[in-house]
């Protein structure tokens, strides 16, 4: 600041002192942050080339029972967890309500999920409720390294880092399960890989597990296969098809995060773009709604005539992928199936087409068929590759065909709070249930619990529920305190038939 020439020397001297004091206060306030950022940058640079499996790391308590990218990032991870907690008040409320009872005391939970700030809130809630937890990642790209470090620093045995190889992925799962003197009695899975590994490699552990909680289409499909073959020797809870998972996580989470993932990776403008969404389940509905709202021209592929009719009634054309693949600017898979987008489709795509997956597994796009000598791969930025054909055509592949939103962006904490609360209640229910309540089969979350999860989130909106009078409850044949819908009620906008195996 230039002082005016007519200011006398005495007042100028006082002004200079005040200015110096102000500058010192500013420096004092930002210096610790500068040091923290500098330390993070230094550790990131120095550790990028070294595999976590080759490092010897110890947390502040002297424990080395973890494997993360860099334990020194724990402070940053803790701050991210604290941000997530602000929008996950229902899970925190559950933690406070049940903390005194310790309903998971004695539970030894082995988990395989995305390791993000939101999942960390769930894990720390389980610990607060009495559980011992060992955790690994269900996706090689979705782990937030600083969050994994924060969990490891807090004492949770975490084995995960962003950018694992396939070998690293299975090594982490094995280290999570195979711990001398510690045997899991509960499984929380996302995708079924952990359950599959325990079933195949540690059958004695699998038989002694009290219950399995699974939250994905892929993992639930695997559980039903085990059950149908008579090989599921423990009860399992299908969280994916609970109302609070399907109607909130799958729909609302994907409606927001699809745009976030695409914008961060490609900077694409959606207005006027031709987009095909493969699958019109809850994930597909969320993606289509968001893309249409920003001016994209969206069509849908479907195998289910009821979902197809819903798409038509929502204003989308339903076509086969072969019929439109040449014109599309973006192709998004949301089916949970395999080989939805084949090499034949990829060969016919136009230059610059963006290809990505919003389903859990990496099987929907036939990425393996692209790893051939005649095609060139160019890494553009993190999780973005150009696949170049001999004639110069480029297809933009995101996250190598893995889950786009958690690989390339983040997901809304509030919606994840709903799913995480559902998972926590499912674990509590299976762990504390009498042996006679659940047989060796796959179960849906009881309706009463679904309603309880929803009720925990209503205070965020200052929502006030209407209460039934005795006369109204009797007329409807309901308990005044719920459940308010029969188990077969699915909260659909249209109708959907249950899965029937005609074989």
- Is 285 a known ligand-binding residue? yes
How far is 34 from 424, CA to CA, in rounded Å? 38
- Is 193 a known ligand-binding residue? no
In 3D space, the residue among 411, 486, 457 whose CA is nearest the CA of residue 250 turns out to be 411
How far is 420 from 251, CA to CA, in rounded Å? 15
The DSSP output letter for 438 is -
Q: Are 162 and 144 in contact (CB under 8 A)?
A: yes
- Is 494 a known ligand-binding residue? no
Contacts of residue 456, Cβ cutoff 8 Å, sequence gap at least 6:
90, 93, 94, 421
What stretches of 326-367 show up as alpha helix (H) in DSSP? 343-348
- Is 100 a known ligand-binding residue? no
The vertex-178 CA angle with 172 and 181, nearest 5°, equals 140
Q: Are 307 and 488 in contact (CB under 8 A)?
A: no
Edge to edge, what strands does the sheet with 297-301 contain? Answer: 317-318, 297-301, 274-278, 330-333, 353-357, 394-398, 384-388, 376-381
- Is 200 a known ligand-binding residue? no
- Is 282 a known ligand-binding residue? yes
**Distance, CA of 388 to chain centre:** 31
- Is 80 a known ligand-binding residue? no
Q: Are 445 and 239 in contact (CB under 8 A)?
A: yes
- Is 451 a known ligand-binding residue? no
- Is 395 a known ligand-binding residue? no
- Is 245 a known ligand-binding residue? yes
- Is 75 a known ligand-binding residue? no
How far is 142 from 156, CA to CA, in rounded Å? 18
- Is 111 a known ligand-binding residue? no
- Is 503 a known ligand-binding residue? no
What stretches of 61-129 show up as alpha helix (H) in DSSP? 74-86, 89-98, 117-128
Binding residues for NAD(+): 281-286, 302, 405
Binding region for substrate: 116, 190, 215, 245, 249
> From the annotation, which residues make up the binding site?
116, 190, 215, 245, 249, 281-286, 302, 405
């Amino acid at each position: 600041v230039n002082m005016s020439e007519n200011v006398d020397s005495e007042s100028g001297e006082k002004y200079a002192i005040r200015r110096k004091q102000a500058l010192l206060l500013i420096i004092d306030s930002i210096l610790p942050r500068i040091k923290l950022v500098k330390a993070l940058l230094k550790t990131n640079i120095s550790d990028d080339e070294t595999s976590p499996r080759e490092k010897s790391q110890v947390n502040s308590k002297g424990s080395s029972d973890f494997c993360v990218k860099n334990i020194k990032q724990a402070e940053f991870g803790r701050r991210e967890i604290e941000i997530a907690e602000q929008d996950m008040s229902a899970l925190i409320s559950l933690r406070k309500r049940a903390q005194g009872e310790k309903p998971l005391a004695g539970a030894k939970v082995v988990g395989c999920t995305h390791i993000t700030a939101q999942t960390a809130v769930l894990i720390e809630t389980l610990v607060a409720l009495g559980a011992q937890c060992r955790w690994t990642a269900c996706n090689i790209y979705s782990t937030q390294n600083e969050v994994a470090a924060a969990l490891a620093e807090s004492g949770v045995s975490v084995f995960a880092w962003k950018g694992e190889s396939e070998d690293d992925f299975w090594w982490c799962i094995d280290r999570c399960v195979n711990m001398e003197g510690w045997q899991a009695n509960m499984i929380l899975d996302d995708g079924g890989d952990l359950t599959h590994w325990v079933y195949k490699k540690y059958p004695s552990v699998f038989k002694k597990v009290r219950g399995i909680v699974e939250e994905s289409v892929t993992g639930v499909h695997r559980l039903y296969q085990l059950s149908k073959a008579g090989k599921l020797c423990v009860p399992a809870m299908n969280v994916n098809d609970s109302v609070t998972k399907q109607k909130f996580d799958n729909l609302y989470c994907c409606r927001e995060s699809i745009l976030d993932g695409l914008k961060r990776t490609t900077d694409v403008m959606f207005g006027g773009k031709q987009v095909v969404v493969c699958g019109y389940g809850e994930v597909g509905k969320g993606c289509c709604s968001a893309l249409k709202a920003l001016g994209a021209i969206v069509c849908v592929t479907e195998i289910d005539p009821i979902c197809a009719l819903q798409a038509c009634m929502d204003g989308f054309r339903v076509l086969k992928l072969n019929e439109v693949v040449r014109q599309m600017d973006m192709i998004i898979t949301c089916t949970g199936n395999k080989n939805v987008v084949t090499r034949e489709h990829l060969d016919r795509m136009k230059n610059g087409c963006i290809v990505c997956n919003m389903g859990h597994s990496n099987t929907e796009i036939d990425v393996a068929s692209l790893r051939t000598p005649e095609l060139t791969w160019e890494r553009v930025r993190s999780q973005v590759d150009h696949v170049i054909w001999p004639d110069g055509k480029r297809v933009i592949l995101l996250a190598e065909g893995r889950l786009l939103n958690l690989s390339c962006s983040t997901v809304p904490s509030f919606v994840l709070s709903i799913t995480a609360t559902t998972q926590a209640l499912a674990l509590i229910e299976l762990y504390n249930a009498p042996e006679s309540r659940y047989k060796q089969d796959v179960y849906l979350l009881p309706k009463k619990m679904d309603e309880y999860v929803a009720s925990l989130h209503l205070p965020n909106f200052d929502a006030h529920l209407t209460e039934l009078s005795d006369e109204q409850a009797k007329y409807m044949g309901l308990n005044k305190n719920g459940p308010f819908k029969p188990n077969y009620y699915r909260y659909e906008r249209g109708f959907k038939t249950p899965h029937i195996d005609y074989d």
